[in-house]
Homo-oligomer: A and B are copies of this chain.
Amino acid sequence: MIEAIETDQNTGRDFTKLDFTKLDGLVAAVVQDAVTKQVLMVGFMNEESYAQTLATGFVVFYSRSRNKLWMKGESSGHTLRVVKMKTDCDRDALLIEVEAAGPGVCHEGYESCFFRTNENDTWVVNAQKSFSPTDAYAATKETK
């Protein structure tokens, strides 16, 4: 149910814009499977990658280590189609519900990047791989 559309007019704050100032031009973007509700990964977006995500309907991150935009799945084909996008009370984080094209989002071959669980202060792998990362990334390189 739509409760209210908040604008400058009735709140004095602009809820049409995300706040990229708190994290040096970035916002954290949590990716969740729209159906299973499994959290698949966390990435970061700058204003340009956010704009491209809105324009294309597919998740585009900003890579801090490579200092460039990257559409998730551009190498593996495991793209993430945006189903719903939410922001939080501070407008400095995104929650993106997606339809995932591939068997997993993690470059290590797992359905979710969160495949390690803390057990007695040790990170234990307790998920099964859902695909071969070597095959997925090698195959796509040939077609690019």
Contacts of A95 in B (CB 8 A): 39, 42, 114
**Interface 0/1 of A111-122, CB less than 8 Å to B:** 001111110011
Contacts of A108 in B (CB 8 A): 89
Q: Are A15 and B89 in contact (CB under 8 A)?
A: no
**Interface 0/1 of A36-62, CB less than 8 Å to B:** 111101100000000000100000000
**Interface 0/1 of A74-87, CB less than 8 Å to B:** 00000000001111
Asked if A136 is an interface residue, CB under 8 A from chain B, the answer is: no
Q: Which residues of A contact B (CB under 8 A)?
A: 1-6, 15-16, 22-23, 28, 30, 32, 36-39, 41-42, 54, 64-65, 84-91, 93, 95, 106-108, 110, 113-118, 121-128
Give me 29 A-to-B residue pairs in the complex whose CB atoms sit less than 8 angstroms apart, sorted by A's number.
A1-B128, A2-B125, A3-B125, A3-B128, A5-B122, A6-B123, A22-B64, A28-B42, A30-B39, A32-B39, A37-B38, A39-B95, A41-B88, A42-B88, A54-B118, A54-B121, A84-B117, A85-B117, A86-B114, A86-B116, A86-B117, A86-B118, A87-B114, A88-B106, A88-B114, A88-B116, A89-B108, A91-B116, A93-B113
